[in-house]
Amino acid sequence: MKRIANNKGFTILELLIGMVIGVTVLAGATYVYVTIVSSSASTLKASKLNTQVMSMMSIMVNDVRRAGYWSTFTETPSSNPFSQIDNTAVTVLDSMASDTPVALGTNADGQCITFSYDQNENGVLDTDLEHFGYRLNAGNIEIRTAGAVSDGDSCASGTWSALSDDELYTINRLSFNSQDSACINTREPDGIDNDGAAGIDDDDERDCYSQVPTAGSGDTTVETRDIQITISASLKNDPDVTTSITQSVRVRNDWIRIR
């Protein structure tokens, strides 16, 4: 009599369970792969955007730091043609549209800054070459370049060119803040109560931002300008990718004025 051999293999139920487990593992692996690829792409985009913004920040910081430079420094500092009020001195303005100066030393942001320096070192202000500035205009950062400037401390005067690339990213914020600047009246202390503080000649009188010298007083003031610059940007093709950078720059050339 013939012995019937036992059949070996998987049952239908076992095959189905195995397939379910395999599909689950494959789905998990696919999800992890997609997540990693997506995260890497976002990181790469953010890195590129951050590099672009850092480059623009570096240009502005180095340029603003030069403000007021005058090669002919042997002459009277107060006659520096690159540091004249309402023309060539560092000026923060609220926006391109309003074009209104923001008082130095106050905690108020402006979207534009103008300044001058002796670029060709001839000691003379060349109005078509040595007026500089940066402004926010419709999602772009613009730089004032060569061109006749009729009003040095205006965001609307002169020729402006794009510094940022509006095809790749949008500048959501450009701000200049001078609250860390300081102004000292060299006349103080003079033993006189100039601010009506109960007859006391206090330290507040040395601060010529809070105690503005009278026009024609002959007081000599020295101002140190410290400008905090902030840039915020987002990618045009992926607005969720954003970056924001803030950096402070100390203008090397102090502003000396005779009031």
Residue 26 has pLDDT above 70, yes or no: yes
For residue 193, being part of any structural domain is answered with: no
Q: Which domain holds residue 56?
A: 42-181+225-258
In this prediction, residue 206 has a pLDDT band, given cuts at 50, 70 and 90, of confident
User: Looking at residue 89, what is its pLDDT?
Assistant: 97
Tally of domains within the chain:
1
Asked which of 113-127, 146-160, 216-230 is least confident by mean pLDDT, the reply is: 146-160
For residue 16, being part of any structural domain is answered with: no
For residue 190, being part of any structural domain is answered with: no
In this prediction, residue 40 has a pLDDT band, given cuts at 50, 70 and 90, of low
For residue 165, being part of any structural domain is answered with: yes
pLDDT digits (tens, 9 = 90+) for 237-257: 999 999 999 999 999 999 999
For residue 1, being part of any structural domain is answered with: no
What CA–CA distance (Å, rounded) separates 93 from 114?
8
Q: Which residue has the higher pLDDT, 225 or 151?
A: 225
Q: Please state the pTM of the whole predicted model.
A: 0.81
Contact status, residue 211 vs residue 204, Cβ threshold 8 Å:
yes
For residue 200, being part of any structural domain is answered with: no
Residue 47 has pLDDT above 60, yes or no: yes
pLDDT digits (tens, 9 = 90+) for 74-99: 778 899 999 999 999 999 999 999 99
Q: Cα 1 to chain center, whole Å?
A: 97
User: Looking at residue 35, what is its pLDDT?
Assistant: 65
Residues whose CB is less than 8 angstroms from the CB of residue 172 and which lie 6 or more positions away in sequence, other chains included? 139, 232, 233, 234, 242
Q: What share of the chain in percent tops pLDDT 70?
A: 84
What CA–CA distance (Å, rounded) separates 248 from 203?
26
User: Looking at residue 25, what is its pLDDT?
Assistant: 76
For residue 204, being part of any structural domain is answered with: no
Q: What is the mean pLDDT of residues 155-183?
A: 96
Residue 202 has pLDDT above 70, yes or no: no
For residue 84, being part of any structural domain is answered with: yes
Query: How many helices (DSSP H) and strands (DSSP E) are in the chain?
Result: 1, 13
Closest Cα partner for 192 from 214, 163, 215, 209?
Answer: 214
User: Looking at residue 30, what is its pLDDT?
Assistant: 73
Residue 188 has pLDDT above 90, yes or no: no
User: Looking at residue 45, what is its pLDDT?
Assistant: 83
Q: Encoding tokens for residue 2?
A: 């013939």
Residue 42 has pLDDT above 80, yes or no: no
